[in-house]
Copies of this chain bind each other. A is one copy, B any other.
């Protein structure tokens, strides 16, 4: 039997927890250790066989780990962590600050090339699977238009914004793709659509006792940047309802390209995800790409890579023969 690919995880927030769960579902990957900035003893894992170490001790694991999954955030953690860990390990991260990807790529690539490691950056679903579909659709149907819709999804930034409103005790905001816009795109009309036309916003608010609900609703709906340009719906619920019905982190979305071939034949290309748990799915994508990081590294394909550089077969646990026979 072939030996398993040895995985480490840096960071034990929602994404790191999702990675632990995703590795458990595989038969070809083995979780060696989780690295944290907290006191390792404080992590309270339900599985005592999982080793927990302080992040500053990671270098000691250089020969015990094939791929390190970097499960920190894009704002503060990954810009430091990916270059650091890519000097020691093959890595996979989910860096998702779109505007900063070119400079992030450059910084990581320099380190990875120098240290003969493979670092796959910006993995997940957007950036990630959505990116793949945008590029493939564009390559296959050059005469066309790409559309990306997000949701139904819990938006952290917009939820924070409603919770900052005076008189709001608690609340969440969902971004929801506008059905009319999706139908227009699916029909191949290639319409011009603003982000506001593509999405609507639905809030579930727990008001402070005695708050003026009509005034709250108006204040939210007219909030500049966040809601004013959107079709916004405000619902008032109790704290119990919020806890019961809105404590998951669902997300998803659509990438649709409408293209024309020949004498104007319409061709619609669509990819979509409907996710009960955004962090668990993102972690599952990272875990699958760990196989690719390991394999590319064995082929001496060092440096920073993106999902565009990874052949689909490389993320599968199955052999090329099995894929050709049973999946092609």
Cβ A275 vs Cβ B267 within 8 A: yes
Whether, in the assembled complex, A178 has its beta carbon less than 8 Å from a beta carbon of chain B, the answer is no
The bracket for how many chain A residues form the interface is 35 or more
Cβ A262 vs Cβ B285 within 8 A: no
Q: Which of A267-313 contact B (CB under 8 A)?
A: 267-277, 280-281, 283-285, 288, 291, 306-313
Cβ B261 vs Cβ A140 within 8 A: no
Cβ A271 vs Cβ B268 within 8 A: no
CA distance A207 to B224 in the complex (A): 64
Contact of A327 among B134, B261, B309 (CB under 8 A): B134
Whether, in the assembled complex, A246 has its beta carbon less than 8 Å from a beta carbon of chain B, the answer is no
Contact code string A125-153 (vs B, CB < 8 Å = 1, else 0): 00101011111101111110000000000
Q: What's the number of copies of this chain in the assembled complex? A: 2
- Most chain B beta-carbon contacts within 10 A, residue among A98, A127, A265, A275: A265
CA distance A143 to B49 in the complex (A): 22
Q: Which of A115-129 contact B (CB under 8 A)?
A: 122, 127, 129
Shortest CB–CB separation between residue A5 and chain B, in angstroms? 13
Cβ A268 vs Cβ B274 within 8 A: yes
Contact of A324 among B262, B281, B306 (CB under 8 A): B306
